[in-house]
Structure 1
Amino acid sequence: MRATTLLNRVLNLTGVRVVDVDPGAGGPLLVRVALKARKRLDCPHCSYSTMAGYDTRWAESTWRHLDFSGRVLVLTMLRRRLVCPSHGVVVQGVPFARPGSRFSTEFEDMTAWLVTRADKTTVSQFARIAWRTVGAICERVVAEQLDESRFEGLVNIGVDEISWRKHHRYLTLVSDHATSKIVWGAPGKNAATLDGFFKEIGPVNTTAIEAVSMDMGPAFAKSVTTNAPGAVICYDPFHVIQLATNALEAFRRSIWQRTRELPDQDIAKKFKGTRWVLLKNPQNLTEKQQVTLAGLERTGGLLWDAYQLKESLREVFAGDLNPDDVMEMITTWCDLAANSNIREFARAAATIRSHTQGIHAAVTRKLSNGRHEGLNNKIRTMTRRSYGFHTPEAALALIMLACGPVEIKLPYQT
Structure 2
Amino acid sequence: MPTSRVWARLLAVEKTVVESADYDPEKRAFVADVRPAAGQSNRCPICHRRCPGYDSGARLRYWRGLDFGTTAVYLRAVPVRIRCRFHGILTAAVPWARHQSRHTIEFERQVAWLVTQCSKTAITELMRISWRTVGAILTREHAALQAGRDRLAGLRRIGIDEVSFKRGQHYLTVVVDHDTGQLVWAAEGRDKATVRAFFTELGARRCAQLTHISADGAAWIARVVTECCPQAVFCADPFHVVQWTNEALNEVRRSAWRDARRQAAKEPKRSRGRPPKDAPPRPASALARGLKGARFALAKNPQNLTEKQAMKLEWVTKTDPRLYRAYLLKERLRLIFTLPDAAAAEVELDAWIQWARRCRIPAFVKLQRTITEHKRRILAAIEHGLSNGPVESVNAKIRVITRMAYGFHSSRPLIALAMLQLSGMKPRLPGR
Q: Using structure 1 for the length normalisation, give the TM-score.
A: 0.90
Name the SS for the 1:213 alignment partner: strand
Gaps of 5+ in 1: none
RMSD value, Cα: 2.5
Alignment partner of 1:70 is 2:70? yes
Q: Is the 8 A contact 1:59 1:80 kept in 2?
A: no
Alignment partner of 1:361 is 2:361? no
Q: Is the 8 A contact 2:81 2:91 kept in 1?
A: yes
Q: What amino acid is the match of 1:278?
A: L
Q: Is the 8 A contact 1:164 1:389 kept in 2?
A: no
Q: 1:212-223 alignment to 2 at 5 Å?
A: 212-223=213-224
Q: Deviations over 1:326-359 (max 9, x none)?
A: 1222222222222333211221111011111111
Residue 343 of structure 1 is matched in structure 2 by 362
Partner Cα separation in structure 1 for residue 154 and residue 239 of structure 2? 26
Q: 1:201-220 alignment to 2 at 5 Å?
A: 201-220=202-221
Q: Is the 8 A contact 1:165 1:389 kept in 2?
A: no
Structure 1 range deviating more: 200-209 or 358-367: 358-367
Q: Is the 8 A contact 1:156 1:176 kept in 2?
A: yes
Partner Cα separation in structure 2 for residue 15 and residue 217 of structure 1? 52
Q: Is the 8 A contact 1:3 1:21 kept in 2?
A: no
Alignment partner of 1:412 is 2:413? no
Partner Cα separation in structure 2 for residue 94 and residue 86 of structure 1? 19
Partner Cα separation in structure 2 for residue 351 and residue 37 of structure 1? 68
Q: Deviations over 1:265-304 (max 9, x none)?
A: 5544433333333333445455554454444345453333
Q: Deviations over 1:141-164 (max 9, x none)?
A: 112222562222211111111112
Q: Is the 8 A contact 1:183 1:405 kept in 2?
A: no
Match of 2:299 among 265, 279, 283: 279
Alignment partner of 1:239 is 2:240? yes
Partner Cα separation in structure 1 for residue 185 and residue 3 of structure 2? 47
Q: Deviations over 1:18-42 (max 9, x none)?
A: 3333423473332332223267311
Structure 1 range deviating more: 115-124 or 278-287: 278-287
Residue 184 of structure 1 is matched in structure 2 by 185
Change (3 A) 1:63 1:292: farther
Q: What amino acid is the match of 1:155?
A: R
Partner Cα separation in structure 2 for residue 74 and residue 205 of structure 1? 46
Cα offset for 1:310? 2.0
Partner Cα separation in structure 1 for residue 238 and residue 110 of structure 2? 40
Q: 1:78-157 alignment to 2 at 5 Å?
A: 78-146=78-146, 147=148, 149-157=150-158
Name the SS for the 1:124 alignment partner: helix
Q: Is the 8 A contact 2:31 2:75 kept in 1?
A: yes
Residue 61 of structure 2 is matched in structure 1 by 61
Gaps of 5+ in 2: 266-283
Name the SS for the 1:346 alignment partner: helix
Partner Cα separation in structure 2 for residue 22 and residue 292 of structure 1? 77
Change (3 A) 1:149 1:273: same
Name the SS for the 1:110 alignment partner: helix
Higher gyration radius (CA):
2
Q: Deviations over 1:224-256 (max 9, x none)?
A: 111222222211112211111221222223333
Residue 253 of structure 2 is matched in structure 1 by 252
Residue 195 of structure 2 is matched in structure 1 by 194
Residue 224 of structure 1 is matched in structure 2 by 225
Match of 1:296 among 306, 310, 316: 316
Partner Cα separation in structure 1 for residue 57 and residue 93 of structure 2? 16
Partner Cα separation in structure 2 for residue 105 and residue 29 of structure 1? 18
Structure 1 range deviating more: 24-33 or 171-180: 24-33
Residue 372 of structure 1 is matched in structure 2 by 391
Change (3 A) 1:356 1:148: farther
Q: Is the 8 A contact 2:11 2:65 kept in 1?
A: no
Change (3 A) 1:278 1:136: farther
Q: What amino acid is the match of 2:357?
A: A
Residue 16 of structure 1 is matched in structure 2 by 16
Q: What amino acid is the match of 1:213?
A: S
Partner Cα separation in structure 2 for residue 272 and residue 126 of structure 1? 51
Q: Using structure 2 for the length normalisation, give the TM-score.
A: 0.87
Match of 1:352 among 362, 371, 377: 371
Alignment partner of 1:384 is 2:385? no
Name the SS for the 2:75 alignment partner: strand
Partner Cα separation in structure 1 for residue 5 and residue 202 of structure 2? 49
Instruction: State, as a whole percentage, how many aligned pairs show the same letter.
Output: 37
Q: Is the 8 A contact 1:119 1:386 kept in 2?
A: no
Residue 171 of structure 1 is matched in structure 2 by 172
Name the SS for the 1:318 alignment partner: coil
Name the SS for the 1:183 alignment partner: strand
Cα offset for 1:45? 0.8
Change (3 A) 1:123 1:58: same
Q: What amino acid is the match of 1:183?
A: V
Change (3 A) 1:281 1:378: farther
Aligned residues: 411
Change (3 A) 1:122 1:312: farther
Partner Cα separation in structure 1 for residue 109 and residue 289 of structure 2? 53
Q: Deviations over 1:77-115 (max 9, x none)?
A: 221111111111111112222211112222222222222
Residue 277 of structure 2 is matched in structure 1 by none
